[in-house]
């Protein structure tokens, strides 16, 4: 039987197959091959009842390390307009990793009653799907549902941005715990303890993950400087049109990307994030990371 891993507890896993949930363990041969099943894995299970085991992990289309998830179609990054305000550089780093992994980034701004979301959304419109959602009234939820239905998505967001409230709007039967903002720290209490995957009423699945800090850009997700421009989709039509073949798109004369920024065709904020990420990437040495 084939199914999808929807949650894990130590060395046991819940697998959804043919509309039923099964609690299983991984066959010893998988552990001997140093292959660990993770949420989102498509797997084969054999046996019945307590004897059921995961016998095989089917090939993964993609994978992220922290939180461990496989076979994602979309990563939905949830940011609040205020309390806490969005960290745009971090958001740009995460969307770049998502593109690098072959996963479609989707950006959702919440708490639209606290600040105008347009000043943030304008950086991403035309680059990624971007939505403004009011979790209290439900405004904007239906548009997001249309974008993710039939797909396997994961919600990622810092504590206190309204991620659990959004999940409740997307899947009303879940009743995910929500936390209040800590006034002292300016961030929320993390109410998501582990990754779990839920079927969406509109079709498809959605994974609720721990906070943004857990979506790691560690060495498994590192983007080297020569690959970085390709992780900014709005650069695509200008790459190859620069004066210099080895243009870094950071400061060169005759750079088509910089000219597009000056002409207002590429967000200045996005290009600034790219420049900062490029400076970080320049310090990476592939041989030191092995």
CATH assignment, 2-58: 2.40.50.140
Give the pTM: 0.86
CATH assignment, 69-214: 3.40.50.300
Q: What was the pLDDT predicted at 79?
A: 94
What 3 state SS string does 47-73 have?
Answer: CCHHHCEEEEECCCCCEECCCCEECCC
The domain limits of the chain are 2-58, 69-214, 223-289
CA–CA separation, 212 and 46 (whole Å)? 36
Q: Is 122 helix (H, G, I), strand (E, B) or coil?
A: coil
Query: Would you write out the chain's pLDDT as a tens digit for each of its 290 residues?
Result: 999 999 988 788 999 988 888 999 888 777 667 778 999 999 999 988 778 899 999 999 999 887 789 999 999 999 999 988 999 999 999 999 999 999 999 999 999 989 999 999 999 999 999 999 999 999 999 999 999 999 999 998 887 888 889 999 998 877 544 443 333 333 344 444 467 898 899 899 999 876 544 455 554 468 999 999 999 999 999 999 999 999 999 999 999 999 999 999 999 999 999 999 999 999 887 766 65
Q: Is 241 helix (H, G, I), strand (E, B) or coil?
A: coil
Whether the link from the prior residue into 84 is cis, omega within 30° of 0, is yes
Whether the link from the prior residue into 75 is cis, omega within 30° of 0, is no
Q: How are strands ordered across the β-sheet holding 104-110?
A: 130-132, 104-110, 74-80, 151-157, 204-208, 196-199
Q: Is 283 helix (H, G, I), strand (E, B) or coil?
A: coil
Q: Closest by alpha carbon to 175, among 154, 198, 152?
A: 198
CA–CA separation, 236 and 79 (whole Å)? 26
Q: Both tokens of residue 229? A: 């421009």
Q: Both tokens of residue 139? A: 């405004």
The residue with tokens 């994961």 is 154
CATH assignment, 223-289: 1.10.40.50
Q: What was the pLDDT predicted at 157?
A: 84
């Amino acid at each position: 039987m084939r199914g999808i891993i929807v949650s894990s507890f130590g060395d046991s896993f819940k697998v959804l197959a043919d509309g039923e949930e099964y609690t299983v363990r991984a066959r010893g041969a998988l552990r001997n091959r140093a292959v660990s099943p993770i949420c989102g894995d498509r797997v084969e299970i054999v046996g019945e009842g307590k004897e059921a085991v995961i016998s095989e992990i089917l090939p993964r289309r993609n994978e992220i390390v922290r939180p461990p998830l496989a076979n994602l179609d979309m990563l939905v990054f949830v940011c609040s307009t205020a309390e806490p305000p969005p960290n745009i550089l971090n958001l740009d780093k995460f969307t770049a990793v998502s593109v690098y992994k072959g996963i479609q980034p989707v950006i959702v701004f919440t708490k639209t009653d606290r600040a105008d979301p347009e000043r943030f959304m304008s950086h991403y419109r035309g680059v990624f799907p971007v939505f403004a959602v009011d979790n209290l009234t439900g405004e904007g939820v239906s548009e997001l549902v249309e974008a993710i239905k039939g797909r396997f998505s994961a919600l990622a967001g810092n504590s206190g941005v309204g991620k659990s409230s959004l999940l409740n709007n997307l899947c009303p039967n879940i009743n995910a715990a929500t936390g209040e903002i800590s006034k002292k720290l300016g961030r929320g209490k993390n109410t998501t303890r582990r990754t779990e995957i839920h079927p969406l009423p509109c079709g498809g699945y959605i994974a609720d993950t721990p906070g943004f800090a857990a979506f790691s850009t560690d060495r498994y997700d590192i983007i080297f400087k020569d690959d970085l421009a390709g992780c900014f989709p709005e650069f695509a039509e200008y790459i190859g049109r620069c004066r210099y073949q080895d243009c870094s798109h950071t400061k060169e004369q005759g750079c088509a990307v910089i000219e597009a920024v000056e002409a207002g065709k590429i967000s200045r904020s996005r290009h600034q994030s790219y420049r900062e990420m490029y400076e970080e990437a320049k310090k990476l040495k592939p041989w030191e990371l092995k």
